[in-house]
Amino acid sequence: MKLINYFSSILVISILSSCAKEATNNGFSNAKLVTDSSYQPNSSGSFWVYNNSDTNGVLKDSFTVSSTGKDTTINSLPYTILKYDTTYQFQYHVNNKYMFRTSAYTFSSPLGPISFTGFNVDYIDNVNDIAGTQWNFMCVDGGNVSVNTILGKVNVPTNAIGVINNTGTSITINGISYKNVIVSHVDFTALLPTAPGSYSTIQSMDFYTAKGIGVIKVVTYNQSNKITLIQTLKRYSIL
């Protein structure tokens, strides 16, 4: 998904589980059963098509995420390179943890736009976590971002908080039924000088991640907790 301003992106991804067919691909003939039963398969040449819709369900546009099958190392961590329309994003999966990273991102805030490079999203900290489990992570390298304001540059500390809402959920999206879905919520926060002493939520996201398929839905909220974008998996092909 496109990560531009309101996270019109979110790299979502994925495919079918190893022993049983967890989802049907709406008749898309290029999809195949594979043995990868993780929550983020990344086989080379595979692709996922997502719809962007507004809060009324009106389709705005679509975008494609595809796996290059190539690996890279960032901050000593291993990532698989995913092509996201005209740019790249990076998927991390080690043991039971799932995270992705973008090369650029911009938040809206009371200070104005907060822009930076190297944005991290830890959307499943451990697939074995039960509902209610929380975790903290550094969404910006170094934890701080420099923001241009009318008073000059301001150093703003950031943080992110994730929580598991549900596990083992079943859901139907765009006519496709998915099982073993983990639903997580992430708040991205900043210690703004306009609200000293407490972190303010700048943006939030809900992630729906299916076993053997990847992220199948993302709901993005603004700083007023209003939905700004809904992204859903339309079709996919796993090679």
Domain ranges in the chain? 47-237
54 vs 128, more confident = 128
pLDDT at 1: 46
Q: How confident is the model at residue 9 (pLDDT cuts 50, 70, 90)?
A: very low
pLDDT at 119: 86
Task: Write the pLDDT tens digit of every residue in 183-228.
Answer: 999 999 988 877 778 899 989 999 999 998 899 999 999 989 999 9
Q: How confident is the model at residue 34 (pLDDT cuts 50, 70, 90)?
A: very low
Question: What is the DSSP annotation of the chain?
Answer: ---STTT----------SSS-----TT-TT----S--SS----TT-EEEEEEE-TT--EEEEEEEEEEEEEEEETTEEEEEEEETTEEEEEEEETTEEEEEES-EEE--TTS-EEES-EEEEEES-TTPPTT-EEEE-SBTTSEEEEEETTEEEEEEEEEEEEEEEEEEEEEETTEEEEEEEEEEEEEEE--TTSTTS-EEEEEEEEEEETTTEEEEEEEE-TTS-EEEEEEEEEEE--
